[in-house]
Amino acid sequence: MPLFSRSDASKAQPEPQPEVRRTPKQSEQVARNRRPLVPADRKEAQDKIRAEREKARRGFEQGDEKYLPARDKGPVRRYVRDFVDARLSIGMLAMPMMIVVLVLTFINDPQWRIIANLVLWGFVVVVILDSVLMAWQLRRAIRAKFGDKDAKGHAWYATMRSVQLPFMRMPKPKTTLFKYPV
């Protein structure tokens, strides 16, 4: 038996190769992918797209998980939304307060402008304190219901939702004031 020769096992017949298809020509590929750019019945296609968008919008407004963006999905985020919607927040008054301050700045008296600025900054401080308190309460509630692993990362989401007026929130609130989620 020679030292550098092949063994009899390696001389066995090679495994059969799968049948290889030829690469299609470009004209064949183009013909296979060809479809009309404009549908045959444009009105029907437009109505179908409009109906799909309306269905998705309604699903988003109602809080259907299928139509929610990734930031709003999941049971913890639903709990956060319900918690914020049940709470009477000072942040809800942010938009009306900004309008009042804007009107006060149009008064030509410098004393009213100073008062408007002080009121605005005082309101901002109160909203920040209210948001910190809400985040602390929310974190405790999430830990009690879902555990420690889901307790982080929801404070900013809750704060942004609490600053909006209730009728402007999306998805629409499911709870009423003072009916906290269980």
For each successive 10 residues of the chain (182 residues), what is the average pLDDT? 63 73 89 81 90 91 83 86 89 87 85 87 92 92 84 86 86 81 76
146 lies in a domain?
Answer: yes
Block residue for tokens 């998805």: 171
Same domain, 160 and 89: yes
What is the number of other CB atoms lying within 10 angstroms of the CB of residue 162? 25
pLDDT the model gives residue 47: 92
Query: Residues 61, 101: one domain?
Result: no
Claim to verify: residue 107 and residue 156 sit in the same structural domain: yes
The one-letter code for the residue type at 37 is: L
pTM score of the predicted model: 0.65
- Count of domains for the chain: 2
* Residue 11 maps to a domain: no
CB-side exposure of 37: number of CA atoms within 13 Å? Answer: 0
pLDDT at 53: 93
Residue 178 within any structural domain of the chain: no
Q: Which domain holds residue 123?
A: 74-168
Flag whether 152 is in a domain: yes
Local structure of residue 69 (DSSP, 8 states): -
Q: Residues 141-160, buried b or exposed e (16+ Cβ, 10 A)?
A: bbeeeeeeebbeebbebbbe
> Do 97 and 50 fall into the same domain?
no
Query: Are residues 106 and 139 located together in one domain of the fold?
Result: yes
Cβ atoms < 10 Å from Cβ of 86: 16
